[in-house]
Amino acid sequence: MLFDFDRGEMLLIDKPLDWTSFDVVNYIRKTITKYLNHKIKVGHAGTLDPKATGLLIILTGKKTKLMEELLNLNKEYLGTMKLGETTPSYDRELEVDNTYPFDHISENDIYNLAKKFIGRQEQYPPVYSAVKIEGKRAYEYARENQDVVINPRFINIYEFEITKIDLPYIDFRIVCSSGTFIRSIVRDFGFLLDSGAVLENLRRTKIGDYSVTDAHDPRLLNDLLEQFH
């Protein structure tokens, strides 16, 4: 057998743009069910936002027991933020709600501020996020225009490297603890520069020692299993 999905497999997936993490799980579950003719457990070890791409670890069968262990691994991301704009979701999922000047910001301001983000700190997750509040996702409250209070959480940023500045765009690399919202970092970054900032794009490149260079498009699994079905 090519895969032993019942005993358990770990699949490194390169999540496509605009797919939710659940979309990936659902697609793979349906693909495997068709292949095996019976249902099995399928889950992911760490959510990626729809507007983010990159590494998503999918677990099947008995290997879903590894989920908690993998969720706690550090993450690496590559991204681009745009100064001078904000959106309610802090990324491009929603339309711009405010614009701000950014011509007062120098490259030194940007490099110096990035250094100040290093270390353990409190972070407020975005209202438009999958954080659960009383059994309901925060984004569900937000989409219903209900006031929602999300408690801050402690995160750790180990590395924050500014890789390119072409204002209003800033490219960056971040290594951080599990549970960190890069969208919130971008939101705070713009605020502390006395402007605004929105996350243009984001790619998760590593989860612990697992790399996106070893990951595959989820649709390739269907093509592969079709050959053996």
pLDDT in tens, 68-79: 999 999 999 999
- Are 42 and 83 within 8 A, CB to CB? no
Q: Which amino acid is at 179?
A: G
Whole-number Å distance between alpha carbons of 36 and 14 = 23
Spatial distance between the Cα atoms of 179 and 156, rounded to a whole number of angstroms: 9
Which pLDDT band, with edges at 50, 70 and 90, does 126 fall under? confident
Residue 171 belongs to a domain: yes
For 215, the 3-state DSSP assignment is coil
Question: Both 82 and 193 in a single domain?
Answer: yes
Q: In terms of domains, do 42 and 132 share one? A: no
Q: Which domain holds residue 221?
A: 10-72+210-226
Residue 27 to residue 52: CA distance in whole angstroms: 18
Catalytically annotated residue among 49, 103, 171, 188 = 49
* CATH value at residue 188: 3.30.2350.10
Q: Is the peptide bond before 126 cis (omega within 30 degrees of 0)?
A: no
Cα R_g (the chain), whole angstroms? 19
Annotated catalytic, 49? Answer: yes
pLDDT above 60 (res 1): no
pLDDT of residue 228: 59
What total number of domains does the chain contain? 2
Query: Is the predicted pLDDT of residue 197 greater than 80, yes or no?
Result: yes
Whether residues 58 and 23 share a domain: the answer is: yes
Same domain, 59 and 94: no
- Contact present, 210 and 57 (Cβ < 8 Å): yes
